[in-house]
Amino acid sequence: MSVADGIHTPDWVKDAIFYQIFPDRFASSSRVSKPAYVESWDSPPTTHGYKCGDLLGIVEKLDYLQDLGINALYLNPIFQSPANHRYHTHDYFQVDPILGGNPAFRELLDEAHKRGMHVILDGVFNHASRGFYQFNHTLENGVNSPYLDWFNFRGFPVNAYSGDLNYDAWWGIPALPKFNVRTPAVRDYLMSVGRFWLEFGADGWRLDVPSEIDDDEFWREFRRQVKGVNSEAYICGEIWENAKRWLQGDQFDAVMNYLFTRAVMGFFMRTSKFNPETIRDTGLDGHGGIRMIDGLQFGIFIKELQELYQPEINQVLMNLLDSHDTPRFLTIAGGDKSALKLATLFQMTYPGAPSIYYGDEIGMEGARDPDCRRSFPWDEKKWDNDLRDYFKRAIALRKQHPAFRRGKFDTLYGQDNMYIYGRRMENEHFIVVMNLTEMVLSELPLFTPADSMEYLEGGYHYRDLFDKPGEVYDFSPGIGAESGFRLSPRSATVLQRLR
């Protein structure tokens, strides 16, 4: 565990490449029996239908994930639930039988850990479901139930299916009754869930809508309970905006970095066929939507983002391009694969833990929910293998060089459709060039001296690691044409300084 400024974060997350899996849609194993009424795997996803992917299906695809370079899994909810997304929890101590039950999760954990892979779970602690035992008890018994204080009721009988809603529910959705976390028994129950699955072997929690539990002491106690089981457990909250309140070292380790997501979309999609229609009614459409920004504005925003949290926090933020709650990146970009490539290389060379939403690497598309939750096509003829190869190379680059995971980040140049930045750690120095223009880049601009001295020491002697691997360029400041350097339109590369 690392310690800086009194803040402790799990070391393993700094080296993590997360892969987010929506379990119903990733892979299905014949070893898990299926109900009779199941949607066909390749049919368009629906709001309530099941494809019946399962956890053993994930086990059987670990070779695929490891080949991609993945070393950490983030699973959307896996506990017993009447919804295909499983954010309506029936029983927090039982893995859904459709997913293979607790034995399947045991096998997944064991197999993942054998490969050095970590697994974090989705914790839905703000609300349960109408089928949750204590809620169902009040539904059946009304004022005679001993569990009246587990939820906030405003009258009886409980109107869970018809009539005016008379209890607190998330976003007023009757199927999602909100816990009354002021009740000690409720707090004890949720803390026990947090401990149980870590003792079972999970490596951490992604917390669903944690700001809805507007109680800092609840989350401080949750951290104490979780870290008491495993000091290296990862606690990542779903906070879409400034999360400083929760990132002081006493609550979460990190958040899903949607501020990063918006900035990346705003820059790398600025010259793509950006489609604002695909993000309407999503969190990414809030606060003015995705605002197109140029290289200068992008650099300013990235600097502000780097200064928002402590460096120890920045290194473990979950940096994502899309998720189960948003349209796919490629769809928002109007199918522009170059935008996704550029954004992915930036993601893999930026501080924090990259998170890939399942299937992005093979070109999966999808608009708003449920379309962004399509089934993974295991017919390789349907894959974009050029894109997958690009993901693999970008991931390998990050894993090979510690500077991309733990080094200092420096903006070197940002104007119009170009952004150049450096990463450095000890004797490793890299310059990453992002060319969003429609022209061949044949020279590097003159960097601002205050930002670039570390990279200019000893001259501009750099080897290409990505676009033209092995090519060596001997730059003169601002006169790159003589070096033979050429970077194609809408592409990027990584240059390593030679001693």
Q: Which amino acid, 451? A: D
Known catalytic residue at 238: yes
Known catalytic residue at 360: no
Q: How far, in Å, CA of 22 to CA of 375, rounded? A: 9
Q: To which residue do tokens 């199941």 refer? A: 38
Residues 6+ apart with CB under 8 A from 192: none
C-alpha distance from residue 159 to each of 142, 170, 272 (Å): 10, 15, 49
| Tokens of residue 262, six digits | 């918006």
Q: How far, in Å, CA of 279 to CA of 251, rounded? A: 31
Q: Which of 24, 54, 203, 208 is catalytic?
A: 208
Q: Which of 96, 122, 238, 253 is catalytic?
A: 238
The residues annotated as belonging to the active site are: 208, 238
